[in-house]
């Protein structure tokens, strides 16, 4: 939970430094323009997004044809890299930190809490934020503290308050166990992923 609070605080600081309201999700172009003086450029690249230092200025590149639901996070993940590199921060878990900060920039805590007050439908929230359902599910755990596990084919992620989740193998079994007492969320934009919400 402590990491989520630190990330949300940093996200709010980044919004404020760009003269943007952290209670409203900013379009990535607006955030980039305020922070770096330029917007991301579409390019033919092999990944969703990339960043490069060109003649002393940061330039962000986004893969042509990237779905809108992934574009927002892809750009803001790269913004997170620039922020951390600018602070001289080099961690073994830098990629994970950039994922968390990119998600917080895409779906700011105050904006999420306001939207979740009206609806807890993950698909609806994802559409409202222009994000994937996986990102919204994880932000739900981070913003409200609800214990959540996201099981995907290559990894398992947990968020929210401390909860006695089983190990990765146990979570994969639990995802398909009809006796699970909490809620199960099937993500319609990623059918191979399952979300578990503790009761």
| pLDDT (tens digit per residue) in 11-23 | 999 999 989 999 9
Cα(188)–Cα(194) distance, rounded to whole angstroms?
Answer: 10
Q: What is the pLDDT of residue 86?
A: 77
Q: What is the pLDDT of residue 178?
A: 86
Q: What is the pLDDT of residue 69?
A: 84
Q: What is the pLDDT of residue 36?
A: 86
Q: What is the pLDDT of residue 87?
A: 77
Contact between 32 and 13 under an 8 Å Cβ cutoff? The reply is no
Q: What is the pLDDT of residue 1?
A: 59
Burial 172-189 (b: 16+ CB within 10 A, else e): bebbeeeeeebeebebeb
pLDDT tens digit sequence for 83-115: 988 777 766 788 999 999 999 999 999 999 999
Q: To the nearest whole number, what is the mean pLDDT of the chain?
A: 92
Contact between 41 and 61 under an 8 Å Cβ cutoff? The reply is yes
Cα(48)–Cα(67) distance, rounded to whole angstroms?
Answer: 10
SS3 153: coil
Domain boundaries, the chain: 2-106, 120-197
CB neighbour list of residue 55: distance below 8 Å, 6 or more residues apart? none
CATH topology assigned to domain 2-106 = Arc Repressor Mutant, subunit A (1.10.10)
DSSP 80: H
Predicted model pTM: 0.92
Q: What are phi and psi of 113, to 5 degrees?
A: -60, -40
Taking 70 as the pLDDT cut, the residues of the chain under it are: 1-2, 90-91
For residues 76, 78, 80 and 86, what is the CA-based torsion angle, rounded to 10 degrees? -140
Q: What is the pLDDT of residue 4?
A: 82
Q: Which residue in 124, 177, 113 sits closest to 149, CA to CA?
A: 177
Give the residues across from 60 on adjacent strands.
51
CA 184 to chain CA centroid, Å, is 20
Cα(60)–Cα(50) distance, rounded to whole angstroms?
Answer: 6
Contact between 138 and 156 under an 8 Å Cβ cutoff? The reply is no
């Amino acid at each position: 939970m402590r990491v989520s609070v630190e990330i949300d605080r940093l996200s709010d600081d980044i919004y404020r430094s760009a003269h943007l309201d952290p209670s409203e999700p900013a379009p990535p172009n607006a955030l980039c323009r305020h922070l770096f003086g330029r917007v991301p450029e579409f390019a033919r690249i092999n990944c969703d997004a990339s960043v490069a230092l060109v003649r002393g200025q940061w330039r962000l590149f986004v893969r042509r044809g990237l779905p809108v639901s992934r574009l927002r996070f892809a750009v803001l993940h790269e913004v997170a890299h620039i922020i951390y590199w600018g602070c001289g921060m080099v961690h073994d878990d830098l990629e994970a930190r950039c994922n968390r900060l990119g998600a917080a920039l895409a779906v700011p805590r105050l904006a999420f809490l306001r939207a979740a007050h009206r609806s807890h439908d993950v698909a609806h929230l994802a559409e409202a934020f222009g994000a994937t359902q996986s990102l919204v599910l994880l932000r739900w755990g981070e913003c409200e503290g609800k214990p959540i596990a996201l099981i995907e084919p290559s990894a398992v992620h947990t968020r929210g308050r401390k909860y006695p989740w089983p190990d990765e193998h146990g979570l994969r079994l639990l995802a398909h166990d009809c006796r699970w007492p909490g809620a199960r969320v099937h993500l319609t934009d990623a059918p191979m992923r399952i979300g578990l919400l503790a009761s």
